[in-house]
Every structure is written in structure tokens, then in C-alpha cells.
Structure 1
Amino acid sequence: MRQKHQLLPALCFIAMLILLGLQVYWISKYYNITKQNFEKEVNLAFEDAFKKEFSLRADSIQHILKRRLLDTTLFTITSKFDKKEKKVIYTVGETKRPKDKFSSSFSLHDIDVLINKENKKQITTLIAQRFSELLRNEDLNNHIVYYRTQELGKYMVELTNKIEFDTTNLRPILNKYLSKRSIFVKYNFYAKQKDSTTNSSTFNQALLKKYPIITHSLPTYKHNPGQNYVRVMFKDPFPYILSNMWLILFSSIFLVFLIAFCLYYLLKSLRKEKKLSLIKNDFISNITHEFKTPIATTMLAVEELTNKTVRQDEEKATRYLKHAKNELKRISELTDKILKISLYDTENYKIKKEKIEIEAILKEIIDIYSLSEKDVKITLKNNTGIVEILADKSQFQHAVANIIDNAIKYGRDEVEIDVNVLGDSGYLITAFKDNGPGIVKSDLPFVFEKFYRAKQNQSTVVKGYGLGLNYVKQIMDQHHGWYTIISNQNGTELKLGWPL
């Protein structure tokens, strides 16, 4: 059994380590998955923001191109019907160089009318809109400028150089796409003349330490050298990761602490039960011995009385009967004490309070114990002026008697006990101070527990049952009073507070 008790804490400790290891493993794994998801999300947000920024620039260029095409000092828009194709062909040409024109394939399928004086403004505006869309789709989206006319080609090159990619314009757009994904991690842009479009493996450790997450690069198609490719570098994404896994993290920590507390409470309870079992075994051993001795003495006396010769000797018969009576009285008193403790444990015992005279009862008990086999000196002082209190007389007597009995039983050869009656905050205090060897400090918190016996000097072992102070505790609880104990090598002081 002892080996099992020793093995159980070790198994609990190992189980806790395994549980803690599993929790750390799963949390770290989830952390890495969340980090990978963060990297994926910022790349998607970067791509979306990059496309959006380009789309806004293309919108601006398209709008300017439309106005340029409608400038009649630069361009003319004409139309003619193609009999072979059976549709109207619209042509854009330069005003100063009529031969420099573009009309090879430009047509509007949903508009098939010739330009005349009545519809010229409406149709030319629509043609300029559709032609600017064509330039956007075929030129801007492919990042190539086709010189459909010399003037138009030169102007588009100048315009795209003027309205080109800029991280200042990209930042607010990227912030918007990141916030949609609940990402609020600080970042910076990283632009280079030459770059790969894969990962960040080419970056040095100093940069990766400062910015552990770096997106793949995207081409900017800028004409200025040094900014042909751009990336976004993010600082440590721990706040984002924590916001996504805080529930798992804190639930895991709570679970670990809960299980640790349960294991601690279980082991504590087992140690307490083991300790109580040892105390009970000691009590049973002592009580058995205490019962066996008077029983054996009584049986011997009764056996002698069965002898006719002894019965005829009146002196011997009287002596044997007296021994039997005394031993049976001891058994009765011991049984009564055990039954009372058991009765108090059931909480069904009801005290019978009455007015009792304090000094009279204390003097009566002191007189009894002054006749002890030891040299006993007991002094009583009462300066409170209080003569009576409301309490159960029998229990009051038992509480006082148990304390004095302990002081004498565990005291030195010459016992001195000071009994002082004090008053304080609605309580009458009976204080008992002796000159005994005292109680070990580690035993003090347990001396009021049932069956508990404090450590004793091996040369002066006193037999007992560990019931006396527990009996006092039960009495004080029944009276809604209190009790305290202070002890050192010079003696012990025990106080009982009785409600007034």
C-alpha cells in the first residue's frame, strides 16, 4: 500500500508533464498554422490592393485619354460605311497629320450610324469613350504602348510616366484590405530594381529579424530605376496570431491549471486520509490497550470471587469487588467520552444553556486536580466582575477539565497553572497558562483535530487518545465561541472565548 501511495504522486506528475507537453505541442502547431495563414492573407491583401491601385491609375489615364481624343485641335473622329463588312467604321486621325490615323479595326458593334451634324457631339463622345477603353484594355493592362498614331503614342508614354506607381497611393488602399482581414500589424514597403517573384529566402537575417513576414514581389513597371519590384514587409505578427488563438491559448492554460489543482487536491486528500488512517490506528491501539487492562483486571477479580474461599473472606471479597467496580467505572467513562465525540460529529446534539457561576465551577475543578499525584499548583484570578454567564454547565466543566488535565498529564514534575478570567468584546475569556515543555510549532495547527496527538519526548511518553482538545473544540463550536493556543518551550497558553 505504501508503494502505491508513493507511486501515485509520481504518476500524477508524469501525467501533468505529458499533458503540458501535448498542450505546448498543439499550441505551437496552431501558432505556426496561424502564422502561415497570416502570410497567406497578407499576400492576398497585397495583390488585391496592388490591382486596385493600378485600376485607379488606369481609370485616371483612361479619363484623360478620352478628353484628349475629343480635342479637335489634335484629333478628328470620322466615320464611313464599309460595304464589304456591312458596318460603319470609325477612324481617329491626327488633325495636323491627317494621314497619321487609326481606323483599321476600330468599330462599335452597338452603334452603327454615320456621324452627321445632328449626332456629331453624341457619337464622337461615345467613340472617344470606347476608344479610351480599347487603349486601356490593350495597352495599359498589358503595360505596352502601341503607337496607333505618333501623337497618341507619345502622349500615352508621357502620361503613364507621369501617373505611375507610388507606394504613397498604395498604402491607404492596402490598409483597407488588411483591415477587412482584421490585420493591423505595422509594415513597410521594400522596392528593388531586380527581384524574384517567389519568397523571401534571399533576404539577410538582420532584415528577417526585424520583418519576419515578407510578401512575394510584384512588378511596378516604373520607368525610374530602383523601384521595378515591390514587396511588403510586416513586423512580428504576434498580436494578430494571439487575437486568433487567444481562446485556445487561455482555455489550454485554464485546463492545465484546473487539472493541476485537481491533482494537487487529490494528492492532498490522499495524504490527509493516510495521516488520518495512521492517527486512527494509533488511537485504536491505545484505546484497545485501555479497554483490555480494566477488562482483564475485572475478569480476574470476578474469577477470584467465584472461589468459595475468597467469598468467605469478607476483606478479600470487598477488595476484589472494589477493583472490579473501579475498572468498570474507567470503561464507562472512556465509553462515554467516545460516544460524546461521536454525538457532536452528527451535529444533532443540542446544548442546554443556563446561568452558571464561573468562579464556583472553576474552583471546584481546581480543587479536584490539585489532589493529583504530581506536585500541582493552580491559581485563579478574576478581575472582570462577571459572576455568571449563559452556558451549558456540563460542557463548560468538561472543557475546563480537559485543558487542566492535559496541562497536568503532559506537564513537568512540578506543574504550575494560572487560570485567568478576562473580558473582551462581548466574550468572557478563560485563559489557561502552564509551565510545561510546550508543543512543537508544526503540531499547533493540528492539536484540535480528532485523534491527533502532538510529538512527545521519547523518555516521557504519555498515553492518550487525541480526543481532549477536539472535545474542547466541539464544545466551543456548540456555544459559538472561539479558542486560541500559543505555545513555546516555556509553556502553553490556551484561551476559550464564551459569548456573554
Structure 2
Amino acid sequence: MQKNRYKSILYFISSVILVTLVIQIYWNFKNYQASKQQLVNEVQISLDNAVDQYYEELAKNQTFSFISNPKNLNHFSNKQLDKILKRIDSTQKHFSRSNLSDSIKTSEISFYRNKNIDSTKQFIKVLQLSDSIETMLNISEHDSITVSTNTNPFETLTSKIVISISQDKVNLNTIDSLLKVELVRKKVSADYTLKYTNGLEQLHNNNTCDTLTIDKSQLYTQSKSSYLPPHSSLKLFFTNTTITILKKNLLGILLSFILMAAVIGCLLYLLQIITHQKQLAALKNDLISNITHEFKTPIATISAALEGIQNFNQENDQEKTKKYIKISSGQLNKLNTMVEKILETATLDSDELQLNLEETNLTPLIHTIAEKHKVNSPEKNITFINSHENIWRKIDVFHFENAINNIVDNAIKYGGNTVGISITNTDLHILIEIRDNGTGLTKAHKEKIFEKFYRVPKGNTHDVKGFGIGLFYTKTIIEKHKGTIQLSLDQGLTNFKITLPNG
């Protein structure tokens, strides 16, 4: 039941992470598409504004007008006006000759201007009309040109004749300059090229894009300006729109990434907590099972001894009674030791455990531990090697001896037939090593071997006694002595290495 529940939680968290990723990717994609369309619209508006400005500037220099005014003096004849219109027609090949001279009397023609005569003189200079309006140039400004500052608006509108000179070709460089100003104003940065087509020819401006491959560009826009000549088009092609769009959406992308990372991180952290709780539950069950087994054996032994004294010692045999009492006392001491170990474990993680440090010779201490295990386990080949007879250091003798004893005891229980113990003294540190040729530990156990209540899994068996707190206790005591303990597995050897700073 618990296993199925854990799987359900795992599947749920995985599904939420997957859905979060899909939603964020979809949201960023739609945001990218919207920004892409917005960029196209902004460039479209900029291009149209640039084209409109181009033709507005062009119209200022290539448009002039006449006003029919019967009150003006007759300064030039129909023949002279006809020459002006002919010269205009010869300058613009696509214009047809106007028949204004046939319908307008010279006595009704006057130049109209708003401020001064400069524009009219410029028009005369450009068209080189000295042969046809020589009389005009020799007349003073006030006599030759009527300044209509008080003209009736309706009269001006109905009597004005406007002549505008247009061109089928466009100057792409000028449009490009105007377009750059518009793009800067809209804060748009993109490489582009302009392509103008009027049915007869194609023109490209010299820009950063490759003019040979612009038709393969992924993104372009076309000017919708009404000023463009009929049957012509002006297109703008992009090359690096992705970078531009990403720069504009950088804040949104970062916020999306932070949100996604936060959600996924929280879910993974939750999964880690659940996994850890599952492991703790397994350790708790294993610990309860081990404690029950460890306590049950001495309790059963004591119960049997007491029953023997009560029911099977009717002759009051003192020797038998002492034997039963001795067995019971030994088992009670064993129970007391196990209870103390459990209580000690509760204080290891806190500062309540205080060490009683005293200067001690480590060589004879380690040698005594080795000799004790030789006696208790004669079937094992236990050796002791030391580099110096006297290696002094301040330690808590009781806890330090228990720490070393735990490692040697584990080597005898889990290891092979050979156990080696050595102590080496250098200028910097003291090195204590406990080696065995057992293969009971693997790399999978290496990282967890020093955890509280951890025991190497052996199924539901209890041939090896213990609560899984021995190595945790050893690691804690060594660290309280400012030392370190490491486990290395190499070539069929298990080596516990304890390093203590010398001094």
C-alpha cells in the first residue's frame, strides 16, 4: 500500500513538472509570435512614414502653381507661356504637353507665392528658361510677381493652377536614411535591405543584407504608402529578427524561467523529502526489528535462568544457582549496554556530549584493542603495525577507544579472514588504518555507511547483531577530536582511514 502510494506521488510530481514545462514553452512561443507580429507592424509603420516623408520633401521642390488674376499686368505673351510649358514637357519625358495656353489668357496669369520670390527664381534657374521668360527676370519683384497675401480663399482655390513634377524612380538611399531615423525612434534594431520594383527594373539599397538571397528571407514587409507610383512596390527584408525579438522579451523570458525553475525546484525538493521520509521509515522499521531481536535474546536467557532456579533447583544446588545468576547478570549487563548506546546516540548530534581530553599514548591503546580481538576471534588473522612506540595526543580515552573498537568489530563481522591495524605518526598528522580483505561493502554503501541507523541490507536475517549506530558514533567521535574518517574500497580491500591533526 505504501509502495503504491509513493509511486502515485512520484507520477503526480513528474506530471506537474511536465505540464509546467509545456505551459511555459507554449507561453513563450506565443509571446514570441506576438512580438514578431508587433515588430512587423512597427517596421511597417516606420517604412510608410519614411516613404511619405520622402515624397513630401520631393513635392516641396517639384511643385509650383499659377493663379488666374484679371487684374495683373500682361508681362508676357501666350507665346512665352507656351515656351515655359514646352520646356517643362521636355524636362519630364513622360509628361504630355498642356494646352493651358489655349484656354488661359496671359492677362489672367500671375505667379502666386507665400513669402518671397526665391522659389520662383529657383524654378526658372533649374528649367533654364532665360530665353522664354527673359522679360520676367528683368522686371522688379513687386511688378513682376503679385504677392497675393489678401486673396479670398475661395477665389484662390478656384483660380489656382498647380503643376507637380513626379518621378517614377525613387532614391532608396534617401528613403533608407529616413527609415533609419524612424526605426531609431521606435527603438527597433534589425538588419534589413530595401527592394524597389516598378515593373521595368528592380533596385536594392546597399545595406547589410545579401541582396542575392533576400527573397529567401523568413520575414519581410511591404510599404502601403499611396504616394508610390502605380504598379510599383517597395519591400523591406529582415535578417536577424530573432535576436531583436528575444531582446525585447528578455524580461518576460527571465521571469518565466525563474517561475519555472522555482516550481520545478519546489517539486523536486518535495520529492526528495518524501524519498527521505520513506528511507527513514524503512530505517525505523529495521531498527525496531533489530532492537526487538537484540532485546529478546537476553530477556529470554534471563527468563530461562530464573525458571531454572525456580523449578529445577529443588535440591538448592548453590553452584547451579550461582551459574544461573551469573548468566542472568551477564544478560542484564548486555541489556544495559544496549540501552546506553541508544541513549548515547540521541546526544551525539547535540553539544551535550562533552569530551574529557587527556594526554594519551595512542600506540599501546590501539595495540590493546588489537590484542583483545585476537583473543575473542582466534579464527581471524589480526595484525598490528606501528611506526613509533610513543605517539601522544589529547583524546577522550573512553569514547576514542569505543570508536576504534567499533571499526575493528565491523571488520571482523563483515570482513574477510585478515584484519590489519596500523598507526603512523608524521609531522602534520596521525594516521590510523583498519584494513580487511572482505567484500561485504560496495560503492553503493560507501556514501551511507556512516549514516545513523544504516545497516548493510542482508534481507530479513539477524545473523549480524547491531543497531546501525556504531559507525555513526565513530564518525561523530573522530570529528569531535578534529579528525576525519574515510572509507576506501580498492582491489578487494576495505580500508577505514582515520586522520587526526598532530598537536
When normalised by structure 2's length, the TM-score is: 0.77
Matched position secondary structure for 2:340: helix
Aligned partner (choices 375, 395, 398) of residue 391 of structure 1: 395
Off by >6 Å, runs of 4+ in structure 1 = 76-79, 104-108, 122-126, 128-131, 457-460
Measure, in 2, the Cα distance between the counterparts of 1:386 and 1:102: 133
Corresponding residue for residue 219 of structure 2: 212
Asked if 1:100 corresponds to 2:106, the answer is yes
For 2:407, the aligned partner's letter is I
Give the CA deviation at 1:210.
1.0
Asked if the contact 1:439–1:488 (Cα under 8 Å) also holds between the matched residues in 2, the reply is no
Asked if the contact 1:305–1:317 (Cα under 8 Å) also holds between the matched residues in 2, the reply is yes
Measure, in 2, the Cα distance between the counterparts of 1:492 and 1:13: 39
For 2:342, the aligned partner's letter is I
Shift in alpha-carbon separation, 1:482–1:107, aligned structure 2, 3 A: closer
Corresponding residue for residue 447 of structure 1: 449
Once structures 1 and 2 are overlaid, which stretch shifts more, 319-328 or 451-460?
Answer: 451-460
**1:309-348 alignment, distance < 5 Å:** 309-310=313-314, 312-348=316-352
Asked if 1:187 corresponds to 2:189, the answer is no
Number of positions where the alignment pairs a residue of Structure 1 with one of Structure 2? 438
Corresponding residue for residue 170 of structure 1: 175
**1:237-386 alignment, distance < 5 Å:** 237-306=241-310, 309-310=313-314, 312-384=316-388, 386=390
For 1:55, the aligned partner's letter is E
Measure, in 2, the Cα distance between the counterparts of 1:348 and 1:23: 50
Measure, in 2, the Cα distance between the counterparts of 1:296 and 1:125: 135
Once structures 1 and 2 are overlaid, which stretch shifts more, 334-343 or 308-317?
Answer: 308-317
Asked if the contact 2:290–2:462 (Cα under 8 Å) also holds between the matched residues in 1, the reply is no
Matched position secondary structure for 1:451: coil
Give the CA deviation at 1:303.
3.9
Give the CA deviation at 1:94.
4.0
- Quick one: higher RCO (CA 8 Å, sep 6+), 1 or 2? 2
Asked if the contact 2:112–2:148 (Cα under 8 Å) also holds between the matched residues in 1, the reply is no
Shift in alpha-carbon separation, 1:488–1:41, aligned structure 2, 3 A: same
Give the CA deviation at 1:219.
4.9
Corresponding residue for residue 473 of structure 1: 475
Measure, in 1, the Cα distance between the counterparts of 2:467 and 2:457: 13
Q: Percent identity?
A: 25
Measure, in 2, the Cα distance between the counterparts of 1:479 and 1:329: 29
Matched position secondary structure for 1:322: helix
Give the CA deviation at 1:208.
6.0
Matched position secondary structure for 1:498: strand
Shift in alpha-carbon separation, 1:172–1:304, aligned structure 2, 3 A: same
Corresponding residue for residue 24 of structure 1: 25
Shift in alpha-carbon separation, 1:401–1:107, aligned structure 2, 3 A: closer
Give the CA deviation at 1:330.
0.5
Shift in alpha-carbon separation, 1:243–1:373, aligned structure 2, 3 A: closer
Measure, in 2, the Cα distance between the counterparts of 1:282 and 1:303: 31
Give the CA deviation at 1:406.
0.9
Give the CA deviation at 1:78.
8.5
Corresponding residue for residue 496 of structure 1: 498
Corresponding residue for residue 199 of structure 1: none
Corresponding residue for residue 147 of structure 2: 127
Measure, in 1, the Cα distance between the counterparts of 2:457 and 2:22: 43
Corresponding residue for residue 85 of structure 1: none
Give the CA deviation at 1:348.
2.2
**Structure 1: unaligned runs, 5 residues or longer:** 70-75, 81-89, 109-119, 139-145, 196-205
For 1:182, the aligned partner's letter is K
For 2:3, the aligned partner's letter is R
Measure, in 2, the Cα distance between the counterparts of 1:238 and 1:190: 21
For 2:178, the aligned partner's letter is I
When normalised by structure 1's length, the TM-score is: 0.77
For 2:475, the aligned partner's letter is K
Give the CA deviation at 1:304.
3.9
Asked if the contact 1:45–1:177 (Cα under 8 Å) also holds between the matched residues in 2, the reply is yes
For 2:147, the aligned partner's letter is I
Asked if the contact 2:112–2:147 (Cα under 8 Å) also holds between the matched residues in 1, the reply is no
**1:58-73 alignment, distance < 5 Å:** 58-61=59-62
Asked if the contact 1:352–1:391 (Cα under 8 Å) also holds between the matched residues in 2, the reply is yes
Give the CA deviation at 1:49.
1.0
Measure, in 2, the Cα distance between the counterparts of 1:366 and 1:125: 128
Give the CA deviation at 1:125.
7.2
Matched position secondary structure for 1:446: coil
**1:397-476 alignment, distance < 5 Å:** 397-412=401-416, 415-424=417-426, 426-456=428-458, 461-476=463-478
Q: What CA RMSD, in Å, does the superposition of the two structures yield over aligned residues?
A: 3.7
Asked if the contact 1:310–1:316 (Cα under 8 Å) also holds between the matched residues in 2, the reply is no
Give the CA deviation at 1:452.
1.2
Shift in alpha-carbon separation, 1:2–1:267, aligned structure 2, 3 A: same
Corresponding residue for residue 203 of structure 1: none
For 2:236, the aligned partner's letter is V
Corresponding residue for residue 3 of structure 1: 4
Matched position secondary structure for 1:184: coil
Matched position secondary structure for 1:127: coil
Give the CA deviation at 1:453.
1.5
Give the CA deviation at 1:294.
0.8
Measure, in 2, the Cα distance between the counterparts of 1:494 and 1:213: 71
Give the CA deviation at 1:389.
0.8
Asked if the contact 1:419–1:431 (Cα under 8 Å) also holds between the matched residues in 2, the reply is yes
Give the CA deviation at 1:478.
1.0
Q: Deviations for 1:60-89, whole angstroms, at most 9, x for unmatched residues? A: 335xx59xx9xxxxxx99994xxxxxxxxx
For 1:470, the aligned partner's letter is F
Q: Deviations for 1:451-489, whole angstroms, at most 9, x for unmatched residues? A: 111245999942332111111111112112101111256
Shift in alpha-carbon separation, 1:218–1:77, aligned structure 2, 3 A: closer
Shift in alpha-carbon separation, 1:211–1:368, aligned structure 2, 3 A: closer
Measure, in 1, the Cα distance between the counterparts of 2:194 and 2:175: 10
Give the CA deviation at 1:105.
12
Asked if the contact 1:191–1:227 (Cα under 8 Å) also holds between the matched residues in 2, the reply is no
